[in-house]
Amino acid sequence: MIDLHTHTFFSDGVLSPAEHVRRALINGYTIIGITDHADFSNYEFIFESIDKFIQDMHNCGWDIKIISGIEITHVPVKKIESLVFKARELKIPLIVVHGETIVEPVEKGTNRAGIEAKADIIAHPGLILEEDVKRAEELGISLEITTRRGHSLTNGHVAKLALKHGAKLVINTDSHAPGDYFTPDLRENVLLGAGIEKKEINRIETNMKNIAENILNNYLNK
């Protein structure tokens, strides 16, 4: 399994990176993205910390690949493009934007700003506008279906519009603590519950594999 949106104690997760990755491995993960919450104050620290961890874990014997990233979170709409640019300059492999979930006071326009800035994933985009889904499809930006409580309340809305307009989807856990990880059954059932038919699940799997392999080939194996 692949999960491209998770957190450690470098933001509001509760586990060290090593324990986080170990628990993911035991749960059957093959690739995990660590994307702690970031703004202008800490994006460099998060990336450098996780990148160092990945380097130190090289040849450790654990059969799981780790991708370092950030989740740009509650950054003003007018500043999202600037932070994405800075993150790209720093060569951060995976950039997620914390979308307009209905359970947090995210500024309106965040989804569109993340899409226009060409972030890799818009996490839990809530009641995303149809025009924003169309724009995500045009730019090849992935929208997230999530297993996380609260954020998952709008999965059906996101899935419906994404399928209608051919926008790319991913499914992630937004893990913060033990118990948040995927099982294969949970993963499939959340997708089915969002109204995604089994024939479409393979497309989501392929998209996630393509994102991960592109990062692993172009960044981690440089």
Query: Domains in the chain, start-ordered, CATH in brackets?
Result: 2-220 (3.20.20.140)
- Please list the alpha-helical segments (H only) found in the chain: 17-26, 43-56, 77-89, 110-116, 130-139, 155-165, 184-193, 198-215
Angle at 102 between CA 98 and CA 104, to 5 degrees: 60
Cβ atoms 175, 37 nearer than 8 A: no
- Average of pLDDT values for 196-217? 95
- In the chain, the amino acid numbered 48 is E
Question: Number of C-alpha atoms within 13 angstroms, CB side, residue 217?
Answer: 6
User: Per this entry, what is the length of the chain?
Assistant: 222
Put the strands of the sheet holding 121-123 in their side by side order. 2-3, 31-38, 65-72, 94-98, 121-123, 142-146, 169-172
- Helices vs. strands in the chain: H and E counts, helices first: 8, 7
Is residue 178 very low, low, confident or very high in pLDDT (cuts 50, 70, 90)? Answer: very high
pLDDT of residue 219: 75
Question: For 135-150, what is each residue's pLDDT tens digit?
Answer: 999 999 999 999 999 9
Residue 163: per-residue pLDDT: 97
Q: pLDDT tens digits for 103-145? A: 999 999 999 999 999 999 999 999 999 999 999 999 999 999 9
- Model confidence at 220, in pLDDT bands (50, 70, 90)? low
Question: Is residue 222 pLDDT above 80, yes or no?
Answer: no
Cβ contact 27:181 at 8 Å: yes
pLDDT score for 218: 85
Mean per-residue pLDDT of the chain: 96
Element (H, E) at 195: none
Question: Does 197 have pLDDT greater than 70?
Answer: yes
Longest dimension (CA), the chain: 46
- 8 Å CB contact between 35 and 10: no
| pLDDT tops 50 at residue 27 | yes
pLDDT of 49-101, one tens digit each?
A: 999 999 999 999 999 999 999 999 999 999 999 999 999 999 999 999 999 99
CB proximity list for 42: less than 8 A, separation 6 or greater: none
